[in-house]
Amino acid sequence: MIKGKEWQWSMKVSSYQLFWLISISSMIVFSYLPIQLAAKESRQDAWISILLGCMIMMAITWIMLRVCMQNKDKTLVGFMKNLLGTVLGKIIVTVYFLLWFLQISSIARGTVEFQNLVMLHNTPMIVILLCFLFLVAYSVYRGGITAISRCAEIIGPFFVFILYGQLFLNPQDMDMKRILPIYADTGWIPILKGTLYSFNYMVDPSVILMLFFFAENKRTASRAILWGTAVAMIWGVLATLVVLFVTGPGMAAELVVPVYTLTKIVSILNFIQNIDALFIPLWLLGGFIKLSVYLFILSYGLSEWTGFKNWKLIACLTTFILLANVIYSTHNLRIGFTYTSLFQIGFFYPFVYIAIPLILWMIGSIRQRRKASNIN
Residue type, 168: F
The string of DSSP codes covering 212-278 is GGGBSSHHHHHHHHHHHHHHHHHHHHHHHHHHHHHHHHHHHTT-SSHHHHHHHT-EETTTEE-THHH
The per-residue pLDDT for 124 is 83
The per-residue pLDDT for 273 is 67
The per-residue pLDDT for 334 is 44
Cα–Cα distance, 275 to 278 (Å, whole number): 5
Residue type, 130: L
The per-residue pLDDT for 269 is 62
- Cα separation of the two ends of the chain: 46
The per-residue pLDDT for 338 is 47
The per-residue pLDDT for 235 is 93
- The contacts found for 251-258 with CB under 8 angstroms, 24 or more apart, are 252/35, 252/36, 252/39, 252/46, 253/36, 253/39, 253/40, 253/43, 254/36, 255/35, 255/36, 256/32, 256/33, 256/36, 256/110, 257/31, 257/32, 257/114, 258/31, 258/35, 258/36
- The neighbouring-strand residues paired with 275 are none
Determine the 3-state secondary structure of 58 from DSSP. helix
The per-residue pLDDT for 237 is 92
Q: Which of 198, 29, 20 is nearest to 102 (CA)?
A: 29
Domains, the chain, ordered by start:
11-356 (1.10.4160.10)
The per-residue pLDDT for 7 is 45
Burial class (CB in 10 A: 0-12, 13-18, 19+), 192: middle
| Residues with pLDDT less than 70, the chain | 1-10, 267-274, 330-341, 375-376
The per-residue pLDDT for 234 is 93
Cα–Cα distances in angstroms (integers) from residue 94 to residues 89, 187, 205, 207, in the given order:
9, 39, 16, 14
**Strands 272-273 and 267-268, sheet pairing:** antiparallel
Q: What is the dihedral of CA 49, 51, 56, 61, to 10 degrees?
A: 140
Count of positions (residues) in the chain? 376
